[in-house]
């Protein structure tokens, strides 16, 4: 499966049929959908970017009432695309957009799988979802649509990473991405967010799995990274994210997290009101502020171990963590001291994989 040099991400809808234990989105009870006319207007403006790849997420993208028409539009306009899905609606999805498989524009599907067993996946995502997700993988494989599996590691599935690699190998998926569960208010309440020192161990295990399996296995954005400034595609100017009401935001990880609602500081521009060119120019300034904040902290000697979890740094920078005052004893709240001791050893071990 290809990696995309530049992509525009649309959160097609905020609607979702699941309520996953780890979900970062705050307001899934909303049913807001991006109008197709708005999407068309962005795609017209995006021709200036030389037809970038289009990535779609949500909510559950396939529940957008005009999902099929949006895919028709992308193909008519000549945009390559993929989307992230929980897999529950796939038989219907395949009926509608299956004819695009193998045609060149449909580049693949990312299917979320948060357990290698029915018991674990369904504990995270709800009863019956594992079987549907496996069926979605099988349908894609049968049609030759490349499949990426996304696993988000938390206390409920931490023990199944190797099994996940085995399952993905058996199911002949194209690649496996493993992410950390970013802290959420309900994740802390339910005690499923792993402490920072466990994240280091997970990072190491992912690298080990990558060396053991033939299947390509990668760390998703948010892992421990000593790079000083720009960790992800967004901060490297390789991606844009447009939320479910048409606002340009810093990235898809921060969008509608942390209970900030409409006051969110990661919202950069309303693309219903300003052009993509204007919004993107504003976004560059916001990215630059993140880089400068890291730069200043680094030169002042304060860029601490946990700040090398770049998404954690961003969540602090964009004030997404106000809710954490309700959990004063949680390891993420207590701070860096414990982790820094572990980091030095961890970094030495990680070098072995580079
Ligand atoms: C927000 S979902 C939207 C797409 C679709 N509904 C799904 O679940 O695949 C996109 C991806 O974000 C992941 N995700 C959700 N909450 C997360 C969290 N707290 N930390 C990291 N990733 C998370 C999901 O597991 C999924 O792979
Ligand atoms: S992770 Fe995806 S499927 Fe689960 S509740 Fe969130 S948006 Fe819905
Ligand atoms: S939170 Fe920051 S580091 Fe993480 S994906 Fe978003 S912009 Fe990148």
Quote the mean pLDDT of the chain. Answer: 92
Find out whether 87 and 138 touch, Cβ atoms under 8 Å: no
How far away, in angstroms, is 24 Cα from ligand 1 center?
7
Nearest-angstrom CA–CA distance, 104 and 200: 39
Which tens digit of pLDDT belongs to each residue from 59-71?
Answer: 999 999 999 999 9
- Least distant ligand from the CA of 177: 1
What string of DSSP letters covers 243-271? -TTSEEES-TTTTT-TT-GGG-TTEEEET
Helices 67-77 and 36-46 cross at an angle (nearest 10°) of 20
Give me the torsion for CA of 310, 311, 313, 319, rounded to 10°.
160
Q: Which of 223, 253, 308 to mutate to test the pocket of ligand 3 (most atoms within 8 A of CB)?
A: 253
pLDDT of 155 over the 90 cut: yes
Q: Which residues contact 21 (CB under 8 A, 6 or more apart)?
A: 123, 124, 125, 154, 156, 186, 187, 190, 192
Write down the pLDDT at residue 31: 79
Average pLDDT over residues 146-154: 98
Nearest-angstrom CA–CA distance, 199 and 328: 20
Of 127, 98, 97, 125, the C-alpha closest to 112 is 125
Pocket of ligand 2 (CB under 6 A): 16, 18-20, 23, 25, 28, 58-60, 86
pLDDT of 76 over the 80 cut: yes
pLDDT of 342 over the 80 cut: no
How far away, in angstroms, is 284 Cα from ligand 3 center?
14
Query: Is residue 164 lining ligand 1, measured as CB closer than 6 Å?
Result: no
pLDDT bucket at 322, cuts 50 / 70 / 90:
confident
- Least distant ligand from the CA of 22: 1
How far away, in angstroms, is 5 Cα from ligand 2 center?
26
pLDDT of 324 over the 70 cut: yes
Q: Which of 9, 14, 22, 114 to mutate to test the pocket of ligand 1 (most atoms within 8 A of CB)?
A: 22
Nearest-angstrom CA–CA distance, 299 and 44: 43
Nearest residue by C-alpha to atom 6 in ligand 3: 251
226 C-beta neighbours (distance < 10 Å), count: 11
How far away, in angstroms, is 138 Cα from ligand 2 center?
21
Which one has a higher pLDDT value, 216 or 335? Answer: 216
Q: Ligand 2, closest atom to CA 152?
A: 1
Find out whether 148 and 111 touch, Cβ atoms under 8 Å: yes
How far away, in angstroms, is 34 Cα from ligand 3 center?
23
Which tens digit of pLDDT belongs to each residue from 232-281?
Answer: 999 999 999 999 999 999 999 999 887 655 468 899 999 999 999 999 99
- 7-286 belongs to which homologous superfamily? Aldolase class I (3.20.20.70)
Q: Dmax of the chain from CA atoms?
A: 57
Find out whether 249 and 255 touch, Cβ atoms under 8 Å: yes
């Amino acid at each position: 499966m290809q990696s995309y040099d530049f992509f525009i991400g649309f959160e097609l809808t905020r609607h979702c049929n699941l309520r996953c234990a780890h979900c970062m989105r705050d307001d899934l009870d909303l049913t807001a959908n991006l109008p197709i006319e708005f999407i068309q207007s962005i795609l017209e403006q995006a021709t200036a970017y030389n037809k970038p790849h289009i990535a779609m997420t949500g909510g559950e993208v396939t529940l957008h009432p005009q999902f099929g028409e949006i895919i028709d539009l992308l193909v008519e306009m000549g945009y390559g695309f993929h989307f992230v899905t929980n897999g529950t609606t796939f038989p219907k999805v395949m009926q509608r957009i299956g004819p695009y498989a193998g045609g060149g524009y449909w580049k693949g599907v990312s299917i979320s799988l948060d357990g290698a067993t029915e018991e674990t996946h369904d504990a995270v995502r709800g009863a019956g979802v594992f079987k549907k997700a496996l069926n979605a993988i099988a349908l894609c494989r049968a049609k030759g649509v490349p499949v990426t599996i996304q696993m988000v590691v938390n206390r409920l599935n931490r023990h199944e990473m190797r099994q996940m690699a085995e399952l993905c190998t058996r199911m002949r998926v194209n690649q496996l991405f493993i992410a950390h569960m970013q802290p959420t208010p309900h994740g802390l309440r339910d005690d499923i967010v792993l402490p920072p020192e466990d994240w280091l161990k997970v990072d190491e295990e992912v690298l080990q799995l990558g060396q053991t399996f033939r299947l390509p296995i990668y760390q998703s954005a948010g892992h421990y990274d000593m790079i000083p400034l720009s960790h992800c595609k967004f901060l490297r100017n390789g991606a844009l994210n447009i939320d479910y009401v048409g606002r340009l935001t810093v990235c898809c990880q921060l969008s509608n997290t942390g209970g900030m609602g409409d006051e969110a500081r990661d919202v950069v521009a309303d693309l219903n009101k300003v052009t993509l060119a204007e919004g993107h120019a504003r976004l560059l300034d916001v990215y630059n502020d993140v880089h400068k904040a890291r730069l200043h902290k680094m030169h002042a000697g304060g860029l601490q171990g946990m700040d090398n979890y770049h998404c954690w740094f961003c969540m602090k920078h964009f004030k997404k963590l106000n809710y954490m005052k309700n959990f004063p004893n949680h390891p993420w709240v207590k701070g860096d001291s414990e982790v820094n001791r572990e980091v030095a050893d961890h970094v030495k071990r990680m070098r072995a994989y580079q």
